[in-house]
Structure formats: C-alpha cells, structure tokens
Amino acid sequence: MKKFLFAIATMGLLALATLAPTPAAAAACNTTLFSSTKGDVTFPMCPPPIGGATAGQMDNMGIGANTPRPGSFTTLKSADGLTCASIMPAAATDAVFFIATRPYVLVSASAIFSVTAGGASKLQLVKDAGTNAPGAGTDLLTNNTNTGFDLALTANTVQAGTLVAAGTRTLAAGDRLSVDFANAIQSSAGIVGTACMAPQ
C-alpha cells in the first residue's frame, strides 16, 4: 500500500512539473529592447571579455553589440570659440564697435567694400582703453606701412589684416575695438570690417 501511495505521489509531482511554464531564455547581449531617436538600444551588457589578458584583468567592456574603440584627445586651440564683431561705417567717423567683457586676444581681422574710395583712404583697427576716444588707442594692423586697410584698392575683394604682436592685441575687460579713418571716406560704399577674438 505504501508503494502504491508513493507511486501516485510521484506521478502527481511529474504532472505538475510538466504543466509548469518553461523559464524564458535570458536576452542576449545584442538583443534590441527598444529603439529611440538615437537608434536601436541594446541591453543587457555583455560580460567583460578578457581579450587574451591575464586572468583577473580585462582590456575592454562590450555593451550590447558595440565594442568601445580606443580614442585620443586633441589639444584645444585658442581659435576655438571665437567671438567676432563687425562694423559697417557709412562715413569717415571713428567709432567703437566692440566692448570686451572679459580678456580676449585678437586673432584675425578683415575688411571689404563694394565701391572703391577713388582716392587716398585708409581704415585702421584700434584697441582703445581707459578714457581713449574712439580710434585714439593702439593700432592693431601693420598693413600698408601700419596704416591699415586700403579703401582705394579693388572693390569686392576681402583684405586680410596683418596683426601686431600678440601681447599688443590683447584686450582686458572694458577695452574696446574701434575703427580709425586716416582720410576722408571719398567714394567708398558698402564697407564692412570684421574682427575675431579668442577668449583668454
């Protein structure tokens, strides 16, 4: 009788085991769980492969179907993150067009015009400090024997400024950039001057 009861109990347990749901297989490390605007996102993380390294070390970590790649940093240049300002003078009037709110260094300057002066006319870029009147400070261009851009040259042609030494073209907070006309504006029209500065 005991053997009979044991046999029935065993058969019952086997029947319950047969009816129990089979556990789902674990998601592979390259299984796409959802997609986003950044593309398919895979999860979970793969176990870290040793990649031939000594036991107890790892040389990489696989995440999803992607494997990190070695990279390198590059040196940031002072020309990154430039601040540029432009002026479009309609008359031969010296004027401020930029006020520094922090230290800068001038890195480039250029000018263009649509109608040539038709006579002697120069435009200098100037750093004003303290109580300097517009255009009364330090000349920043060495073009044309330190007189600046030549407004009598060919129209619609960009002139690149040749700058003074870096120590001279640094601006402290409160310093200004101005244009300084050495002559009458003559027949010049469509003048645009641009200066670009790097933060210090």
pLDDT of 51 strictly over 60: no
pLDDT over threshold 70, residue 27:
no
Which of the given ranges, 35-49, 72-86, 97-111, has the highest pLDDT on average? Answer: 97-111
Model pLDDT, residue 61: 45
Residue 192 lies in a domain: yes
* Pick from 172-176, 182-186, 189-193: least confident: 182-186
For residue 61, is it within any domain?
Answer: no
b/e per residue, 1-10, with b = 16+ CB within 10 A?
eeeeeeeeee
Quick check: 22 pLDDT over 70?
A: no
Count of structural domains, the chain: 1
Identify any residues that bridge with 83 across adjacent strands, giving them in sequence order: 197
Q: Which residue has the higher pLDDT, 40 or 4?
A: 40
Q: Is residue 171 part of a domain?
A: yes
Q: How big, in percent rounded to 5, are the helix, strand and coil portions of the chain?
A: 10, 30, 55
Structure confidence at residue 39 (pLDDT): 60
Give 44 or 178, the one with higher predicted confidence: 178
Domain range for 103 is: 83-199
Which pLDDT belongs to residue 135? 95
- Tokens 């494997």 belong to 67
- At 184 the pLDDT is 87
Query: What letter does residue 102 receive in the DSSP assignment?
Result: S
pTM across the whole model:
0.60
* Local confidence band at 185 (pLDDT 50, 70, 90 cut-offs): confident
**DSSP E strands: which ranges in the chain?**
32-36, 39-42, 83-87, 95-99, 104-112, 122-128, 138-139, 149-150, 159-160, 170-171, 176-181, 192-199
105, part of any domain: yes
Which helix H or strand E contains 10, and what residues bound it? Answer: helix 2-19
pLDDT for 124 beyond 70? yes
CATH number of domain containing 90? 2.60.120
C-alpha closest to that of 188 among 196, 179, 197 = 179
Q: Say if 21 falls within a structural domain.
A: no
Assess whether pLDDT exceeds 60 at residue 10.
Answer: no
Rounded CA separation 183/122 (Å): 6
Identify the residue with better confidence: 141 or 45.
Answer: 141
Tell whether 161 is covered by a domain.
Answer: yes
